[in-house]
Amino acid sequence: MNPLRLVRARPDAPFTVTFDGREIPALPGRTVAAVLWAAGITSWRTTRTSGSPRGVFCGIGVCHDCLVTVDGRPNQRACLVPAVPGADIRTQEGTGHDA
């Protein structure tokens, strides 16, 4: 069983996004976080002081742990932002303004 099968999902046409330059598949409607999870990626940010890896924590836009850079804009909450075809998703380091 998987979640898509459980609800008998028939998603619209899949597309691809890139994560740190690597192409990964995405389903329409999924957030950036859901797309990354589905590709087996659980962290996409490092913290400002200790540089430790982070991904989704609260899943609903409260904690800001899931910040990520999308199409050059840092500090997007991956659990809220929908993935769109061709999105350029990048690991965010620190404040997202350091690179």
Ligand X SMILES: Cc1cc2nc3c(=O)[nH]c(=O)nc-3n(C[C@H](O)[C@H](O)[C@H](O)COP(=O)(O)OP(=O)(O)OC[C@H]3O[C@@H](n4cnc5c(N)ncnc54)[C@H](O)[C@@H]3O)c2cc1C
Integer CA distances (angstroms), 9 to 2, 3, 4, in order: 10, 8, 5
Pairwise CA distance, residues 42 & 62, whole Å: 18
Nearest of 33, 6, 28 to residue 15 by alpha carbon: 28
- Residues 60-89 binding ligand X (CB under 6 A) are 60
If residue 81 lies in a helix (H) or strand (E), which one and from where to where?
none
State the residue for tokens 């200790």.
Answer: 50
Q: Which is nearer to ligand X, 61 or 85 (CB)?
A: 61
Figure out which of the listed residues 18, 23, 25, 73 binds another protein, where binding follows CB under 8 A: 73
Figure out which of the listed residues 17, 68, 79, 87 binds another protein, where binding follows CB under 8 A: 79
Q: Which does 29 bind (CB under 5 to 8 A by kind): ligand X, ligand FES, another protein, none?
A: another protein
Cβ atoms of residues 54 and 68 within 8 Å: no
Q: Which is nearer to ligand FES, 26 or 77 (CB)?
A: 77
Residues that bind ligand X (CB under 6 A): 59-60
Binding site for another protein (CB under 8 A): 1-12, 27-31, 33-34, 37-38, 42-43, 47-50, 52-65, 67, 73-76, 79-82, 94-97
